[in-house]
Amino acid sequence: MRLNGSLEEKGAIMAQYLLLIYGDEGSASRAGDEAMGKLMADHDRFGETNGACLRGGNALEASSTATTLRKGPSGEVAATDGPFAETKEAIGGYYVIEASDLDAALAIAKQVPAPFGGVEVRPIRDMS
């Protein structure tokens, strides 16, 4: 299980990936308490299984609670209600993971519970 540890022993350089969890908020809000309870339990299990690779993660409130800032034509910043891009599937949460390569990252991302959509895997730029 300690994939992470064994690779570090071999001296592999690790990289970080952001796992963006997308989902249809309508379906999520219509799902009952029982389904949401199971989803929470699934995330707990994901965290336990992959704890060694996890560097962070959170669930987000609905995109209807978001505020977006955009620069107007004269340079002033205007705040508007809602997410940056209005899409059917919105970001509902994220994890930051550490993995030796994309295949290892995808293997972890496949385990992320995402019953209302899917998961986008983005490499985090190494600024060191």
Q: Number of residues in contact with another protein, rule: CB under 8 A?
A: 14
Among 12, 18, 31, 66, the residue binding another protein under the rule CB under 8 A is 12
Binding mask 66-105 toward another protein (x if CB under 8 A, else -) reads ----------------------------------xxxx-x
Closest CA to 54 of 10, 127, 112: 112
Is the separation of the CB atoms in 23 and 92 below 8 Å?
Answer: yes
18 touching another protein, by CB under 8 A: no
Q: Taking the CA atoms of the chain, what radius of gyration do you get in angstroms?
A: 17
d(CA 126, CA 54): 17
Q: Which residues of the chain form contacts with another protein (CB under 8 A)? A: 10-13, 15, 100-103, 105-106, 121, 123, 126
